[in-house]
Structure formats: structure tokens, C-alpha cells
Structure 1
């Protein structure tokens, strides 16, 4: 397999502002071959039809699949299966498992086999007990193996995860789960945004940023089994000036600065003219060249610009995303 460019549906504009048909058409027009679908997109398609029941969501999934087929887009996965692992309220855990059964039906309709699970960032009723986290992940992996065809899970370390916030901690879970259908998604933002960047700092960086990132990506290349990397995400972000502390427009009391930053200020690669400053290309080089990953490369973006009602947003985001991919491909000789 070679490299296949994809984009996240949310990267093309918020589900409640820009329609799925428009977003998918603009992604296809730009030259993307695949797309990540967000569960939130399905909910809004279902709401448009006045039916958000499980049956309504399955109908929405069928509609989205037909739209993707018409636009020549492969659905590479469904995300994010939020707030799952380590819950101390086991009744809530059981409710998540019931929800997962609906997700299995959706991915079968989509013709994909990947569900992405971001690391849990709840701050209450969640445990960092590694044995519990691994137990929970083994449970979903084993359920996925029983599906026909089997469903894979891509675990992603979120830079503001409550307990699992680095690729190293994520990889420890993947190793201990030890199932063929349980792997990971590597994201340049969540790697560099945790070990190298600090949006609440006046420098925009952690104290020993450059050396720490260098050592981290060297370990990544030496440690991760590339067969367990199910797809990757490439993205950058704005430097916060002033720092994202109390009084900043993006500041939310009780919310981690990296989370507020991520939701408002991500950028595509090479957008230094818009304030991008992460060493995302260095991380991308480690994943795509040194580790030797080949497969789906997704341009995943969250930004305040996605909520702009301007009808040109899906087009402009799609063009920005494919420009970033083409420049990365050229720079790394992919």
C-alpha cells in the first residue's frame, strides 16, 4: 500500500453549519481519496430527517455512505468513541458497550473496519489504573473480533488526556491489550502538542521542548510496531499570543489549555502565515519515513473557522488540506 490522502469530515466545517453533501463534494473535488466520519455528523444528518433513534442513525449512515460513494471517497473510519476506558461507574461502562453495538452496525454500513477511540479526558469518575484501562480495551477488542468482518480499534493519545496523554502511555496499553485488531492512530498535533508545545506558556513551548521531542520521536521509531498503526493524522496549530491563560478569548475555566487550544486553533501543515509553529513535519517524517508507515494519511483539523457560516468554508478548508498534503509529499519524497 502507498500513501492515501484523507480528510476528517469535521475539518471541512461544523456539522450544524455546513451540510454533508457540500463537505463531501468539496473534499472529492480537492483530490482527497478518503474521509474520516464523525459520529456528530451522523447525528446532524439524522436530525435533519427528524429521527435520531438508532434506526434513524443507521439510515443516516446509509445516506452518508451513498454520498461518499458518489464522490469517490472511501470512509476510513468512524470517530470518536469518547469517554470509554477506565470508568469507575461500571453501569456507565455497560452503557458505552451498548452504544458500541450500534457503532458496529454503522461501520458495517460504511464499509470500513476502524473505530477510533481517543484517550479519556474526563476528570471525574475515571481511573488511571492501567489494569482497568487494559481490561476495558480487551473487552472492546474481543467484541470487535467477533464481528463479521472484524472491527479494528485505533487508540489515540490525546494531548490533554487525564491519564493517557503521550504516545508512550498509549503504546503501553496497545502492547498489553495484545489483540490483532487493537492498534493506534498517530497524530502530529497530539504528539508535538504534548511534549513540545504549551499554549499556556509565554514561549509557546515546554521547558526542554526541542530535546524532549527529538528523544520522543527517536523512541517512537525504535518502539512502535508499524503494523499496529492503522492510520495517521497530520496537523499543526497556532502559537497562542498572548498565552492561553485566564482572560484569553479561548480560555474556559476548568478546561485544560491544550483542549481549548485544540478546539479553536489548529491549522494545516505549512500554514506559518496563519501562525502555525509546531514541528509537525519532523513528527510526520518520523512516522512516514523512519517508521515506514504506509496507508491512510488524514488531514484532521479543529478550528473556530469551521463554525464560520460562509459557504466557501468547505471549499477553502479542502483546498488548504490538500495543499498541505501535496507539499508534505514533495518535501518527504513520498
Structure 2
């Protein structure tokens, strides 16, 4: 299949986990399906690397780097760019200095991995460790942590960039306003953000614990105000890429007793892990105003660059070999329709 035709400044990508969980579907098969569907780039998940490294015996540093080189070679042969590696989890705000130092040592391995992958971008999602259990929301502390990784990245050749992301279930950083305050205060050329339509709409507008699936009667006005402020506030040069997905309207609130409920896990996280959808899949229950969020990102904020179809879903645990192709084709259809609707 030929590559999708898009404007030069917009490039469609898909997250490798969107094609099936790493421990169920092999990465090279997933990459082939992404290429066949017409995607131009992929996000690589660390779990995919761990899975791929097993063919060398274990997920040691040496084998992770070998696996990364294999994946880069495969992507090169398929004309797929690797836009970044994610997720560098549970980093910012750690109160135990030994745990913090362990994360820094792990990051140094990630620098070697991204070099082997041929990319320069690491995504850091906001910390969702339980409040009071080894993590702080002190903004000065978080900024210091992020300055440290940014400065280490600047010492690499070529420099490594970081895309910080506000998860809708982040313990302290769960809204774009929290995210932007930190990005602004870090003030490093290689430290920016990933704006995720799902995480913004799923926090400001959506709520899986309610019967309406929304935060309430003010959901529309809340989102409109939030997006209006976003356009006035965020420097688009600090937006390194976008992520796009929808969420499934659940038949009943995601509270104790719901099949997706996990004790101690935020409801929005359980929702995200089980019930994300690609754009325009209202027939499958999609209902979040994510296309409007993306329209604001692209048309009003003026973003240009990678737009990644990132999805997590219970469907990815299906071991059927058709799953990667199905997800790739669904993601490609979502991109084509978004391109047409926004005239990209």
C-alpha cells in the first residue's frame, strides 16, 4: 500500500502498543502492519524492546541495545521513522534519593537505546504513584528533577529531547496547565511536551465513574474554556508531538464491581488501559470530543509535525495474528478522516 498522502507538515504515526501488547504480538510483525497501513512513523514502547531482547537471552543493557538496533534496521527497511521511545515512568517527584539516582542511571541506558533506535526523543508521562507513597507534588522539586534530565540530555551527542505528558490520572500533574507550568519553568531547549487529546478531554470533560460519562453539566463549557486558555498560553514550539485517541462510553460507571475496576488504581487509568478507541469510532462507543481538541491543537495553536495514533485496549490482548493488522488499519482510517475533516 502506498503511503498516505498528507500535507508536508503533518506526519501520521502510530504507537507500537496500539498494534498489540508487546508480550502478545512480535514487534517486527507490528511494524510491517504499520507500514502496510501507510504510517510514516512509530512510537516505540520500552516493553517492546524488553520483549525483543529476549531472543538474545534476557533484557540486559547489551541485549536491549541489540534489540533497538534490530528494530531500527526493520524500520529503515519499511521507511518508518522512529519518533521516540516511551514511557520513562515514575521519575519526577521521588522523595527517596536512592530511587531518584536509580532512575538517572536507567536514563543513561535509555540514552544508549535511543541512539541505537536512531531517534532523539524520550517521553516522560506524569507520575501516578499514590500520593504520600514516595512521591511529592512540590513543583520546585519536580522542576529540579526535570532540569536534571534536560541538562543530561543536552550533554548527549546529538542532544536528547524530552516530551513531558500530563496523564489524566497523574497524581499531581494531570492537566495541561500543570504540565505547562513545569515546562515553562524548566526552560530548556530540549524539554517540551506531548499533548494528548485523550488525556485532556478525559480529564476536563470525561469521567468514567459517572453515569453520564462526563464531569457533569459544565463539561462543555469547562473544555471550551480550557482549550481557549491553552491557545493563549502554550508556546507551540515546545509541543514536540501530538497523540490522538478516543475513549469508550461505558455501560455503567467504573467503580468497585465494574469489570475494569482495580483496587488502588485510578478509574481513569483503568478506563485508559481497557477502553480507548481510535478517532471516529462512535460505533464502538467513542464519545469524547477529541476531534475538537485536535482541531484546536492544529488549527488554533498552529502545531505542525507528528500526530500519533496511541491506543490501549483490552482488544490488544487477543493473541490472534490479525490483531496488529486490524489496529493498524483502524488507526490509518482515523488519520485519513481527521486529515479530511481538518483539511491537512
3-state secondary structure, aligned to 1:318: helix
3-state secondary structure, aligned to 1:183: strand
3-state secondary structure, aligned to 2:320: coil
Structure 2 unaligned regions, length at least 5 = 1-7
Equivalent position of 2:324 in the other structure? 314
Equivalent position of 1:256 in the other structure? 266
Equivalent position of 1:159 in the other structure? 168
Counterpart pick for 1:43 among 38, 50, 53? 50
Equivalent position of 2:23 in the other structure? 16
Matched, 1:275 2:282: no
Equivalent position of 2:189 in the other structure? 180
Equivalent position of 1:197 in the other structure? 206
Counterpart pick for 1:82 among 86, 89, 92? 89
Equivalent position of 2:100 in the other structure? 93
Deviation at 1:32, TM superposition (A): 0.1
Equivalent position of 1:329 in the other structure? 339
Deviation at 1:241, TM superposition (A): 1.3
The two structures have a TM-score, normalised by structure 1, of 0.99
- Considering only aligned residues, what root-mean-square deviation do their CA atoms show, in Å? 0.6
The two structures have a TM-score, normalised by structure 2, of 0.96
Equivalent position of 2:129 in the other structure? 122
Deviation at 1:171, TM superposition (A): 0.2
Deviations 1:88-146, CA, capped at 9 Å, x for gaps? 00100000000000000111111111000000000110000000000000000000000
Deviations 1:187-211, CA, capped at 9 Å, x for gaps? 0000000000000001000022110
Partner Cα separation in structure 1 for residue 64 and residue 146 of structure 2: 25
Q: Is the 8 A contact 1:39 1:80 kept in 2?
A: yes
Structure 1 unaligned regions, length at least 5 = none
Partner Cα separation in structure 2 for residue 49 and residue 277 of structure 1: 43
Deviations 1:303-329, CA, capped at 9 Å, x for gaps? 000110111000010000010000000
Partner Cα separation in structure 2 for residue 111 and residue 66 of structure 1: 10
Equivalent position of 2:229 in the other structure? 219
3-state secondary structure, aligned to 1:14: coil
Partner Cα separation in structure 1 for residue 266 and residue 60 of structure 2: 33
Equivalent position of 2:275 in the other structure? 265
Deviation at 1:49, TM superposition (A): 2.4
Counterpart pick for 2:35 among 24, 28, 38? 28
Deviation at 1:240, TM superposition (A): 1.4
Partner Cα separation in structure 1 for residue 56 and residue 197 of structure 2: 37
Runs of 4+ in 1 over 6 A off after TM superposition: none
Partner Cα separation in structure 2 for residue 75 and residue 143 of structure 1: 21
3-state secondary structure, aligned to 1:122: coil
Deviation at 1:71, TM superposition (A): 1.1
Q: Is the 8 A contact 1:200 1:240 kept in 2?
A: no
Partner Cα separation in structure 1 for residue 242 and residue 97 of structure 2: 31
Partner Cα separation in structure 1 for residue 318 and residue 268 of structure 2: 22
